[in-house]
Amino acid sequence: MTTHQPQPGVLHHVAPWPHVSAFEFGPRSSPSDPLVLFVGGLGDTLLSVQYLGALAVALREAGWGLAQANLTSSGMGWGGATVAGDAEEIAKIVRYFLERGTSKVVLVGHSTGCQDAIAYLHLASAQSFPKLAGIILQAPVSDREIDVVTELAKKVADEAAALATPPNPTDLAPASCSKLFHSKAGVTWQRWRSLAELPDSDDVDVHKSEDFFSASLSDRRLANVFAPLNCPLSVVLSGDDSSYPSSVKANLPGLLERFKRAAPQEWWHATSRIIDGGKHDLGGEPQTSEFVGLVVEFVKSL
């Protein structure tokens, strides 16, 4: 059920430059059927997350479609990108489907796709993004709190502080930064700092920091992260996610409760939960079926 299988569908070319596209599983029985738009994480490409095939089948049976965003940051392109730029491209995809008759769009973020969803909310008003019908965050984790990232970030910050002039944000950070995240295309200083450094304020600036889910964040910053929420939200943590340091993994219920308290209560959805035994991308069964079931439950409630 969770193995990678060939998937029939339709590839939509959404924007000419930079090139943005979306792969629609299926396709839907009608262009007006509502749609779930999936956004992957760092390094993800089309179909790289195993549960998408199963999710597409279950959504089709519920009268919904599934599409995956193919952003310019996909694959190895993320090192020179930003979550703000991702959000702008996601808005183009959402608008593309709505203008062609899709009745509503729910955004499902996986890993850094969750940060993209938060960036979408923060930029939506100023940039007139289309309104989403709902958001599901699957594996919203902190890159900064991953043990190896924490260690490297201190070393890199010390080296940068010793330079005669501060690094240009668009210059490439040391190769060790990109190697850590398995990137062959390099990582800019701007993106590295957004990922790996402690935010300098409790206020949210999606152009400077994508640190939205760290357990060490203050209650005020978490409240600011979720403040623009204007649609139902489901937050789904994985109980065996290797991204968590042991201190965070030991109290995932407490972290989920903090997210719940931070979010506007009228939008917090009852499907929010911790999937016991789930890996970062859920892994196999029964975790995949549990997640697919909660997504179907979520969209049916809208």
- Within-domain flag for 114: yes
- Within-domain flag for 268: yes
- Within-domain flag for 236: yes
Q: Are 103 and 32 in contact (CB under 8 A)?
A: yes
- Within-domain flag for 241: yes
Question: Which residues contact residue 4 at a Cβ distance below 8 angstroms, ignoring those fewer than 6 apart?
Answer: 47, 50, 53
Check residue 3 and give its pLDDT.
57
The range of the structural domain enclosing residue 268 comes to: 9-146+207-300
Check residue 166 and give its pLDDT.
84
* CA distances (Å), origin 129, targets 126, 208, 263, 266: 8, 20, 20, 22
Number of domains observed in the structure of the chain: 1
pLDDT tens-digit map of 197-252: 999 999 999 999 999 999 999 999 999 999 999 999 999 999 999 999 999 999 99
Check residue 182 and give its pLDDT.
84
- Within-domain flag for 214: yes
- Within-domain flag for 163: no
* CA distances (Å), origin 37, targets 7, 66, 190, 213, 222: 16, 6, 27, 21, 25
Check residue 233 and give its pLDDT.
98
Q: What is the pTM of this model?
A: 0.95
Check residue 13 and give its pLDDT.
96
Mapped onto helix, strand or coil, the DSSP state of residue 64 is coil
Those residues of the chain that have pLDDT short of 50 are 1-2
- Within-domain flag for 169: no
Q: In sequence order, what DSSP letters do the residues of 127-185 get, joined into one string?
A: HTPPPPSEEEEES---STTSHHHHHHHHHHHHHHHTSSSPPPTTSBPPHHHHHHTT-SS
Q: Are 4 and 288 in contact (CB under 8 A)?
A: no
d(CA 26, CA 205): 37
Q: Bridge partners of 273?
A: 236
- Within-domain flag for 162: no
d(CA 155, CA 141): 22
pLDDT tens-digit map of 171-187: 998 899 988 988 888 99
CATH of the domain at 246: 3.40.50.1820
